Amino acid sequence: MKFRFLEFFDFVLLFCTIVLVIIGITFIYSSGVDSSGVVVSNEYVKQIIFGCTGLVLMFITTLFDYRKVIRHAPKLFIGLIVILLYTLFFGKYVNNARSWIGIGELGIQPSEFGKIFFIIFLAYYLERSDSAKPRKRFITALFFMLIPVGLILLQPDLGTASVYIPIFIIMCFMAGIPIRYLLIVIFIGLLTIIFTVLPVWETEIAQKTIPWMRVLTDLRIRFIVILALSIISFVGILGYILFKNKYYYWIAYFFGITTVSLLASFAASKVLMPYQIERLIIFINPHVDPLGSGWNIIQSKIAIGSGYVFGQGFLNGTQSHYRFLPQQSTDFIFSILAEEWGFVGGIVVFALYLVIFIRIIIIIKYTRNTHGYYIASGILGMLVFHFIVNVGMVMGIMPITGIPLIFLSYGGSSLWTGMICIGLLCSIKFRQSDFTL
């Protein structure tokens, strides 16, 4: 039995995860040291506790047969919706969002753990609906995705809500749902963001009046445009039903996407805080508000640039120790690492994540269980999205969305979620040949 355990356990995945967690604790400690060398934060102690308990959760998840969880997937999804509703009404505010529940300083962020529940449930649905028509599978899966995303957006927590979308897209793609359906989600998402931020871009970045922007700023004009686009979309749908001509199909496709995006952007502008909308575009030119919304990006880029090749040395960074970087232990942990370990340190971290991604792809390739195949795909989509968005954010090439760098950023909910996911991957790898412990 021990031999079989060693044969199927993914030690490479485990090693890379533990090294990243240790690096994260190291720089969380660094973020808590001020310019005089005094430790002013105990976050690193908490992260050590989170890391140790996370290891226990990871090993428990590894040893537990993930296939036994699948049968309870609908209950997990219902539980997710219930706890998100509870959080929405009774949760406590943290960083201007009601997304936490707990007592005093002890708290968890349900939407983080909800990613795991969503992945398990979507894997359950995609496997059971394998013989259904692609359009029906897509619409139903989309409905299941929009429920938690909508509840999280109402908190409002744009960053966490956005992570559910790549999970959905990757899992549906791996399930064989046509790309043209998935592009609907991608296009609507992108256009919704663009339509939401354009009015802010006009006033903050362009700093001039643009006549055609009234479509997005004048409620009456917006209503007329939406009505016109809706009529065109309806005509396209009707024409395709009557004549079966692809010309009508693509009219309905593109005009329908535009219509939904305009409606969604109007709703988003009412739900999201003004500062959240501004953060989505300030990366274009952070110097228009250097002491406000652009401060984080400017200071982060200075920190990364000052690291050069080998860095300034551990605990010798200036941006973090002089407290120029807000939220430096969470969203901007990579900035501290790049400042103190330089380009070489950044490459080491990149390599560790790359190895994790490759190991997940190998697990996906060789697993024989459909549920495991989908679960591993969803976890891959989640981890890659977190990595790309967070690193792009701190480098100033992507919007600031508040997405942490899993395994490195401070936070128990994020770290536990990541380590449970690694446990699930090890469980899938452990049983990819249908071996049962």
Report in angstroms the alpha-carbon separations of 391 from 2, 100, 281, 291, 335. 40, 25, 16, 22, 9
| Torsional sign, CA 20, 394, 281, 412 | positive
pTM as predicted = 0.92
What is the model's pLDDT at position 8?
63
Q: Is 402 left (phi over 0), alpha (psi -120 to 50) or beta?
A: left
What is the model's pLDDT at position 184?
95
Name the residue among 87, 88, 85, 80 with its Cα closest to residue 107: 87
Between CA 31 and CA 26 the distance in angstroms is 9
Task: Give the contacts of 65 (CB within 8 A, at least 6 positions apart).
Answer: 427, 431, 436, 437
Is 21:353 a contact under the CB 8 Å cutoff? no
Between CA 326 and CA 89 the distance in angstroms is 28
In order along its 437 residues, the chain shows pLDDT tens digits of 444 555 667 889 999 999 999 999 999 999 998 888 888 889 999 999 999 999 999 999 998 889 999 999 999 999 999 999 999 988 887 767 788 887 556 678 899 999 999 999 999 999 999 999 999 999 999 999 999 999 999 888 888 999 999 999 999 999 999 999 999 999 999 999 999 988 888 887 777 888 888 888 888 999 999 999 999 999 999 999 998 888 999 999 999 999 999 999 998 888 777 777 877 888 888 888 887 778 889 999 999 999 999 999 998 888 888 888 877 888 899 999 999 999 999 999 999 999 999 999 999 999 989 999 999 999 999 999 999 999 999 998 888 888 999 999 999 999 999 999 999 999 998 887 654 43
Beta strands 106-108 and 92-94 are unpaired
What is the model's pLDDT at position 1?
45
For the packed helices 295-306 and 333-366, what is the interaxial angle rounded to 10 degrees? 80
How many Å separate Cα 363 from the centre of its chain?
22
What is the model's pLDDT at position 434?
55
Q: Starting at the edge strand that comes first in sequence, how are the strands of the sheet with 106-108 ordered?
A: 92-94, 97-103, 106-108
Long-range pairs of 314-323 with CB within 8 A, sequence gap ≥ 24: 314/26, 314/30, 314/340, 314/341, 315/30, 315/33, 315/37, 315/340, 316/340, 317/30, 318/35, 320/30, 320/31, 321/30, 321/33, 321/34, 321/35, 322/34, 322/35, 323/34, 323/35
The three-state secondary structure class of 36 is: coil
Residue length of the chain: 437
Between CA 378 and CA 16 the distance in angstroms is 19
Phi/psi of residue 312, each to 5°? -85, -5
Q: Is 104 left (phi over 0), alpha (psi -120 to 50) or beta?
A: left
The three-state secondary structure class of 58 is: helix
